Amino acid sequence: MPENTFAGDRALALTASIAKNHRPEKIIGFLALTQDCFNSDNVITADLNRVRVLFAGVLRKAVIADSNDQQSKAQIKRTPLLMTTARGNSFSVSSPYELMMLNPARLMNKFYDGHEPVSMGYLVTGKFKSSFPDGIEIKVKDKSSSDANDPNQSVEKTKRITGLTQAQQDCAVVVFADVDFISDMLAYQDSFFGKTVVADNAALMLNAIEDLSGSSDLISIRSRGNFRRPFTVIDRIEQQAEAETAEEEAKINAEIAGFQNELKSILTSAKKGEEEVIGSSILQKRKDLELKIHQAKRKLRQVKMNRRRLIEHKGNVLRNFNMLMAPAMILIIAVVLGIRRSVKKRHYVSHTSNA
């Protein structure tokens, strides 16, 4: 698991607000894994519906240089359990403090869509080799060689402890690159009735424990108990709207970054020789750059506003269609039944008249 590297996916990113007064934004590291992200051939994840992770790490196969180690590693089976979609990819930050001062827009700009899934969980099975084939050294107290003047004082000696260099039977280890998925914040949500389940995070953990302990009888029952039907049409509308504005938004962000770099260089030169800069054309250029940055940020806000209006418009159209569909179907059924009843009545009256 590379340091300061995390899994991201635009299609799975969730919207959240980082503070009370902040508008909700999509966080590229806050993912809601769907059924396509689980290994359907493994009992631990086969029946899961939704799992939420927060800045999950990326798991990759280690490169082994030693030929003997390569032969032993070849006997070990690695089964991916949790993955992103094919558009998923990894992104890196300079330090953990960058996540503490969370800036969703900045992280989103760092991310680029990938071409293959990124793994966040593995089941590793096989006969593992010891990381200490030569044993380990520990220090023990040897009272037999204590000082004659102080019998209670003992001398520390180094002792080597050896054990198995390789497991005699097959072992199984489940590795998850995220510890947050077992927290209440991700697995549950507070409501009027208490905590409600919003994801199968707890089921995933219990499934792994029961499978490793040799009993998987209740796994399928538990996993199916938290069935959730996602609003795929709404998600598709949001993704389409984001795709339509992503290029323009990236272009504006690049302009803002260029203006800020140019302004930074001007401020640096002003500090070195401020007496020569005041009253010169550089001061006017600084004001022009600040104005351009302000205009670019206003344009960026307008792009985001247009995207939000587009999503709301399409959502309203879909909602109105769904709301009108039920009354329209009832009306059509009522008209058909009325016509059918009228035809039967006419047929009955004509039959009675002829009789």
Q: Answer whether residue 31 shows pLDDT above 90.
A: yes
Lowest mean pLDDT among 114-128, 185-199, 229-243: 229-243
Confidence of residue 53 (pLDDT cuts 50, 70, 90): very high
**Residue 153 domain-assigned?**
yes
Amino acid at 349: V
Tell me whether residue 125 is exposed, middle or buried, using C-beta atoms within 10 angstroms of its C-beta: 0 to 12, 13 to 18, 19 or more.
Answer: middle
pTM metric for this prediction: 0.56
CA dist 69 and 63 (Å) reads 10
**Residue 335 domain-assigned?**
no
Which comes out higher in pLDDT, residue 82 or 106? 82
* Residue 271 and residue 306 in one domain: yes
Q: Give 2's Cβ-side CA count (13 Å radius).
A: 16
**Residue 220 domain-assigned?**
yes
User: Of 94-98, 228-232, 235-239, which has the strongest mean pLDDT?
Assistant: 94-98
* Residue 271 and residue 313 in one domain: yes
**Residue 191 domain-assigned?**
yes
Q: Answer whether residue 110 shows pLDDT above 60.
A: yes
CA dist 106 and 8 (Å) reads 13
Q: Which of 188, 205, 230 is the last residue of a domain?
A: 230
Lowest mean pLDDT among 160-164, 264-268, 349-353: 349-353
Q: Answer whether residue 225 shows pLDDT above 60.
A: no
What distances in angstroms separate CA 37 from CA 78, 121, 146, one per listed residue?
16, 11, 63
* Residue 40 and residue 71 in one domain: yes
* Residue 113 and residue 243 in one domain: no
User: Of 2-6, 65-69, 70-74, 275-279, which has the strongest mean pLDDT?
Assistant: 2-6
What's the chain's average pLDDT?
Answer: 79
Query: What is residue 302's predicted lDDT score, i.e. its pLDDT?
Result: 81
Give the pairing type, strands 171-176 and 5-8.
unpaired
* Residue 246 and residue 297 in one domain: yes
Q: Which residue has the tokens 């962000």?
A: 253
**Residue 336 domain-assigned?**
no
Q: Which residues pair with 78 in a beta bridge?
A: 124
Tokens of 50: 């939704």
Q: Answer whether residue 65 shows pLDDT above 70.
A: no
**Residue 181 domain-assigned?**
yes
Confidence of residue 6 (pLDDT cuts 50, 70, 90): very high
Which comes out higher in pLDDT, residue 257 or 209? 209
* Residue 18 and residue 158 in one domain: no
* Residue 113 and residue 142 in one domain: no
Q: Which residues pair with 126 in a beta bridge?
A: 171
Q: Which of 206, 230, 254 is the last residue of a domain?
A: 230
Range of the domain at 265: 237-323
Number of separate domains in the chain = 3
**Residue 77 domain-assigned?**
yes
Query: What is residue 251's predicted lDDT score, i.e. its pLDDT?
Result: 80
Confidence of residue 1 (pLDDT cuts 50, 70, 90): very high
Q: Answer whether residue 61 shows pLDDT above 50.
A: yes
* Residue 111 and residue 137 in one domain: no
Q: Answer whether residue 141 shows pLDDT above 70.
A: yes
Q: Answer whether residue 275 shows pLDDT above 50.
A: no
